[in-house]
Structure 1
Amino acid sequence: MWRELLAIGRHAGSGGYRRFAWTGADADCRAWFAAQAAARGLALEVDRNGNQWAWLGDPEAGGAVVTGSHLDSVPDGGAFDGPLGVVSSFAALDELLARGVTFTRPLAVVNFGDEEGARFGLACVGSRLTAGKLTVEDAHRLTDAAGTTLPRAMEAAGYDPDTIGPDPERLARVDAFVELHVEQGRALDLSGDPVGVAGAIWPHGRWRFDFRGEANHAGTTRLVDRHDPMLPYAETVLAARREARLAGAVATFGKISVEPNGVNAVPSLVRGWLDSRAEGGATLDAVVTAIEDEARTYATAHGVDLEVVRESFTPVVEFDHALRDELRRLLGTGRDAELRVPVLGTGAGHDAGILSGSVPTAMLFVRNPTGVSHSPAEHAAEDDCLAGVTALADALEGLACK
């Protein structure tokens, strides 16, 4: 399975992946998922929001246990973020069938669409729509860099955008969702454990900073006569790093758009996107407020206007404690009874976090020896990946085979 996925959407120059929502690479990933379902005799469903579900047992029966993740990527992302969870889910199902277990609940593997938000700028679109955390109106306003709206992109890929929206009936049939994911950090590497369980997802959000100045000639305009928005933007980037460090949080300007984007022109507009996360909501509010206050001071000093727009926000997510504790119990008494399963916090958002308000959710993390993520250097050792499959199989056996 891993080898079949490796070439899909891989960029020859960077070695990273460009599996963006509703593109050719996304279609190839979806075809791979459908083939895996067919090879196991699973019933494939594509829900109203384009998420794929592969069912063992009757989905209408209720009480289902669901596992899976996503197959899309950030720009030039790594091979493991998302796909490891989907591949491991099919592998865990294979393991359970090899054990000869008797399923007493329906089981499904899911591939949620557009988790990374690389194309339309909003993460977890598929799960947000399903859980009713993204309105149909707001979804229809999502636009990529080329000006293509989400509905048109879905339509071009062969899906009906008029059906998107909340899907409470489907979620009501799910009793538990367990998502396996490569760890996006080094906590497991530092503790020496191959697998961990998620405790909570830090609150996080994305803010757009629009610095509007005055376009002018780079060679003839005196420095004192300029209203250059690049200067307050650069100072704000440094301020973000400083404020995050002081608060024990993280803040990153990772995307920028410049107009007119000419080498010999003073910009008229610099638009930068801030991603910030912290362990608590009050800390996050304080960090972002401080960054915005400093940005306004810098903008005023350079005669530049500033507009700040919060494009997305997810509050702290505490995963279901009963399900988390049950997973730790199952893993502690499973095939690898000596497995120690630490509980980890994470600053990364996931579909499991989005669904947590609708169904009991939990996450398993697989060790990442470097801690690198959202990069071609992202990695997990085969032994750790197999330990993750065994752990997921033990968890699913305990949940779906009672």
Structure 2
Amino acid sequence: MWRDLKPIGRNPGSGGYRRFAWTGADAECRAWFEEQARARGLAYEVDRNGNQWAWLGDPADGDAVVTGSHLDSVPDGGAFDGPLGVVSSFAALDELRSRNVQFSKPLAIVNFGDEEGARFGLACVGSRLAAGQLTVEQAHRLRDADGVSLPEAMEAAGFDPDVIGADPERLARIGAFVELHVEQGRALDLSGDRVGLASAIWPHGRWRFDFRGEANHAGTTRLVDRRDPMLSYAETVLTARREAQLASAVATFGKISVEPNGVNAIPSLVRGWLDSRAADQASLDTVVSGIEQAAREHADAHGVELDVVRESFTPVVEFDHALRDELARILGTDTDLKVPVLGTGAGHDAGILSGTIPTAMLFVRNPTGVSHSPAEYATEDDCVAGVLALADVLEGLARR
């Protein structure tokens, strides 16, 4: 499975992946998922929001146990973020069948669409729509860098954008959702453990900073006469680092758009996107408010106007304690597998769904700690350990 999926959407120059929502690479990933489902005799379907499902048993029976993740990527992302969870889900099912496990509940594997938000700027679109956390109107307003709207992209890929929206009946049939994911950090590597359990997802969000100055000639305009928004932006980037350090949080300006974007032109607009995350809401509020206050001071000092827009936000997610304790109990029967509990600053579909259904997450060790990069990595032995842990969990949940 890994070899078949590995080349899809890979950029030969960077070695990273560009599997963006509703593109050709996305379609190839979807075809791969359908092929894996049908090869195992699973009932395959696509829901109203484009999420893919593979069912063992009748979903109408309810209290289903669901696992899976996503197949899309960030720009030049790694091979493991998302796909490891989907591949491991199919592999775990294969393992359970080899054990001749008989389930008392329906079991499903899911591929949620547009989890990374790389194309339209909003993460977890598929799960947000299903959970009713993204309205149809909001979704229809999403546009990519080329001005293509989400409905236009879906329609071009052969899906009907007029049927998207909340899917409470589907979610009501799910008793538990468990997502396996490569760890995006080095906690497991430092502790020497192969697999871990998630405790919570830090609160996090994305803010757009629009610095508006005055375009002018780079060679003839005196420095004192300039209203250069790039200076305000640059100072704000440095401020973000300082504010994050003070609060033991993280803050990153990782995307920028400049107009008119000419080498010999002073910009008229610098638009930068801030991603910030912290262990608790108070710390996150402190970081973002400190960055915004300093940004306004920098803008005033250079005669620049500033608009700040919060584009997305997810509050702290405490995973279902009863489900997490059940997973710890199931995995605790393997005396060779220690299962530490750790928090994460990364968002996931499991976090979005946690407000509607019980969710939990398993992490697989990442020896480098690198993620959202071609250097993202997990050893085959650790991946197998993750598959076996997921299989044990699914067996425990679906037979109880």
Q: Same fold (TM over 0.5)?
A: yes
Unmatched tracts of structure 1, length 5 or more? none
- Residue 283 of structure 2 aligns with an amino acid whose one-letter code is T
Percent identical among aligned pairs is 82
User: Please, what is the CA RMSD of the aligned residues?
Assistant: 0.4
Q: Deviations over 1:227-272 (max 9, x none)?
A: 0000000000000000000100000000000000000000000000
DSSP 3-state at the match of 1:133 = coil
Unmatched tracts of structure 2, length 5 or more? none
Q: Deviations over 1:26-46 (max 9, x none)?
A: 000000000000100000010
Structure 2 residue 249 is the aligned partner of structure 1 residue 249: yes
- Residue 73 of structure 2 aligns with an amino acid whose one-letter code is S
Equivalent-residue separation in structure 1 for 2:32 and 2:104 (angstroms): 28
1:2-401 map, 5 Å: 2-333=2-333, 336-401=334-399
Equivalent-residue separation in structure 2 for 1:173 and 1:338 (angstroms): 34
TM-score with structure 2 setting the length: 1.00
Q: Deviations over 1:101-141 (max 9, x none)?
A: 11110000000000000000000000000000001100000
Q: Deviations over 1:161-212 (max 9, x none)?
A: 0000000000000000000000000000000000000000000000000000
DSSP 3-state at the match of 1:87 = helix
Cα offset for 1:338?
A: 2.1
Equivalent-residue separation in structure 1 for 2:93 and 2:6 (angstroms): 21
DSSP 3-state at the match of 2:109 = strand
Equivalent-residue separation in structure 2 for 1:142 and 1:360 (angstroms): 29
- Residue 348 of structure 1 aligns with an amino acid whose one-letter code is A
- Residue 384 of structure 1 aligns with an amino acid whose one-letter code is D
- Residue 109 of structure 2 aligns with an amino acid whose one-letter code is V
- Residue 76 of structure 1 aligns with an amino acid whose one-letter code is D
Cα offset for 1:401?
A: 1.9
- Residue 29 of structure 1 aligns with an amino acid whose one-letter code is C
Cα offset for 1:311?
A: 0.2
DSSP 3-state at the match of 1:279 = coil
DSSP 3-state at the match of 2:38 = helix
DSSP 3-state at the match of 1:4 = helix
- Residue 165 of structure 1 aligns with an amino acid whose one-letter code is G
TM-score with structure 1 setting the length: 0.99
Equivalent-residue separation in structure 2 for 1:342 and 1:15 (angstroms): 32
Q: Deviations over 1:311-340 (max 9, x none)?
A: 00000000000000000110111xx33211
DSSP 3-state at the match of 2:153 = helix
DSSP 3-state at the match of 2:311 = strand
Q: Runs (4+) of structure 1 moved beyond 4 Å? A: none
Equivalent-residue separation in structure 1 for 2:391 and 2:351 (angstroms): 21
Equivalent-residue separation in structure 2 for 1:105 and 1:11 (angstroms): 41
Equivalent-residue separation in structure 2 for 1:256 and 1:118 (angstroms): 14
Aligned length: 400
Q: Deviations over 1:54-92 (max 9, x none)?
A: 000001110100000000000000000000000000000
- Residue 86 of structure 1 aligns with an amino acid whose one-letter code is V
